[in-house]
Structure 1
Amino acid sequence: MQRTAAPRQIAESLTELWSPRIIGELDDSYVKVAKVHGTLGWHSHDNEDELFFILKGQLRLEMAAETVTLSEGEMFVVPKGVQHNPVAEAECLILLIERKTTLHTGNVVTEHTRSLAEQLRSV
């Protein structure tokens, strides 16, 4: 069994925005943390759900059918296939749980898109 530092501390130590880092594995999923601010961009994950858990701050998840605003300690699962756009008006720390097959920004490539190799870099 491997023990890791507190996810919030790891996220706080990140210097790049919208650049998730993998801090653990759970069966066929990765546990990731990220520091975010601004807008990531509209995208979807055709075959995977995506769990957002707020470690610090506030995150807005814009979707066609609704917009969900999450605060520290809250979580939301974006169902597979749902177009979404994460937005943080101020710096926000998040924890994500995603299948290992999940592409960072789905089939959309932006300046924020990170490869799996980039996400696996040490913190």
Structure 2
Amino acid sequence: MKNHLDWSAYRDAGMGDAYADIPRHGGDFAKAVAACIDSRVCETRGRQVMCPSYQVSGNPALSTGGRVRMLKAALSDDLAEQALADPALAEAMDLCLACKGCKRECEGNVDMVQIPPQRD
């Protein structure tokens, strides 16, 4: 697995409301995190695949959107390096099962499988 993925596809992102919440730090990675439109579909319980760790725990921080919100907060902080080392963020990212349910079901096409390696 690559430790640092290529987010250059997001280089020209940032036009329109969908990218109004791009974090201040993180460059193209921050734009990828900003793909979340915060619809919270990932926090509904039921027959969907997304997100198994949320479905089992009921903890919104373990949903796709919860993980993205924590990453956005960390990348918006002027102390992004320390914020990315937050144990709560590490735990949420570590509990991602890499099932790709988010990629299939998320309206914003957030793919958490690609995002966790970026924090290393």
Question: TM-score, normalization: structure 2?
Answer: 0.30
- Which one has a larger percent strand, Structure 1 or Structure 2? 1
Q: Which one has a larger percent helix, Structure 1 or Structure 2? A: 2
- Name the TM-score, length of structure 1 as normaliser: 0.29
Of structures 1 and 2, the one with the larger relative CO (CA 8 A, separation 6+) is: 1
